[in-house]
Amino acid sequence: MAQEVERARLKSLWSRGCSLLGVEHAILGGAMTWVSERNLVAAISNAGGFGVLACGAMTPELLSAEIAATRSRTSMPFGVNLITMHPDLDCLIDICADHGVGHVVLAGGLPPSASLRRIKDHGAKVLAFSPALAFAKRLARSGVDGIIVEGMEAGGHIGPVSTSILAQEILPELAETPIFVAGGIGRGEAIAAYLRMGAAGVQLGTRFVCAEESIAHPNFKRAFIKASARDAQPSVQLDPRFPVIPVRAIRNAATREFAESQREVIVRFYSGELDQKAAQLEIERYWAGALRRAVIEGDVERGSVMAGQSVGMVTCEQPTAEIIGSLVDQAITALSDRV
């Protein structure tokens, strides 16, 4: 009886998120390039969560094929993550509309107002990322349907502020807009805590990398299972004249060599061998193809093993439904008055 009371309480706490997404559990799967493809996305949605396809640098043709393949694996709602800087953004939005995708998740900066209108005109819901309160307020005014607040504990490209601080700053200020909290979430107790604070749901990426349905290379999964939280470190910037967008990944030979590569390029710049633009390009070029090398080819020493700090809570490979089930059970237990 008590278990049913807590289950009902959980259902009530994330009801806005579930209603917006059209799912049983307001748990979004983070859009991870090369990982969040048809198999994992469909598995998350089939387990009651909300899978999100990572479009990344896909062409419109590739995205169309990926959406169709995902649709063949699930009849449940899922979304598509689009990068606002993509040169074919409008075309990608139209592809989503052609396939009846009901939710588009925009990442990579403030979404262009014309793109927001285009998505809305197609009848889809829009979610967007925010790294700060002021940014979140602008998104709310722009008419997005939901906001994802992602802290620096997340894997991949990160901002400078922790998840807990962002949640405390943003949740009380934007009570009318459904907010999903992301970054460093690995257990249901954390989900329950953010829901109590006013979140409509959460997003997890790292926790799903070692799902059985994930196509990530066995070496990539083994690196996650072996890693602790402190192994997932942000990339280093050596000179403020050459900004490096921080990327959190498991330390390996490539991360150590990246620091040395920056040092060599900066020396060449100050000696006059390279101008500033050429030096910046050399620094940025270092990681080209590095994520694919790690995720698909399994080179976890020379590739980029992007992971959030919750990687220490990934201890084995298990079915997606089992992962979501355990998260929900932990959240229900945390909501019990006896705990």
Domain extents for the chain?
Answer: 2-216+316-334, 228-306
2-216+316-334: CATH topology: TIM Barrel (3.20.20)
Q: Is a pLDDT exceeding 70 seen at residue 181?
A: yes
Tokens linked to 104: 């588009």
Tokens linked to 218: 């066995």
Eight-class DSSP state of 51: E
Enter the pTM of the model: 0.94
pLDDT tens digit sequence for 50-76: 999 999 999 999 999 999 999 999 999
pLDDT (mean) for 322-337: 94
Cβ-in-10-Å burial (0-12, 13-18, 19+) of 61 comes to: exposed
Helices (H), 150-305: 163-170, 188-197, 218-226, 253-270, 276-285, 290-295
What pLDDT was estimated at residue 337? 59
Over pLDDT 70: what percentage of the chain?
A: 99
Residue 254: C-alpha distances to residues 243, 259, 305, 330 (Å): 18, 9, 9, 36
pLDDT tens digit sequence for 201-243: 999 999 999 999 999 999 999 999 999 999 999 998 888 888 8
What pLDDT was estimated at residue 2? 62
Q: Is a pLDDT exceeding 60 seen at residue 1?
A: no
- Report the amino acid identity of residue 68: A
Over pLDDT 90: what percentage of the chain?
A: 85
Decide: 331 and 191 in contact? Cβ < 8 Å: yes
Distance, in Å, from the CA atom of 92 to the CA atom of 98, rounded to the nearest integer, reads 10
Q: How confident is the model at residue 339 (pLDDT cuts 50, 70, 90)?
A: very low
Residue 182 in 3-state DSSP? strand
pLDDT tens digit sequence for 264-294: 999 999 999 999 888 888 888 888 789 999 9
pLDDT tens digit sequence for 236-247: 888 888 888 889
The kind and range of the H/E element at 83 are strand 78-83
The kind and range of the H/E element at 82 are strand 78-83
Q: Is a pLDDT exceeding 80 seen at residue 338?
A: no
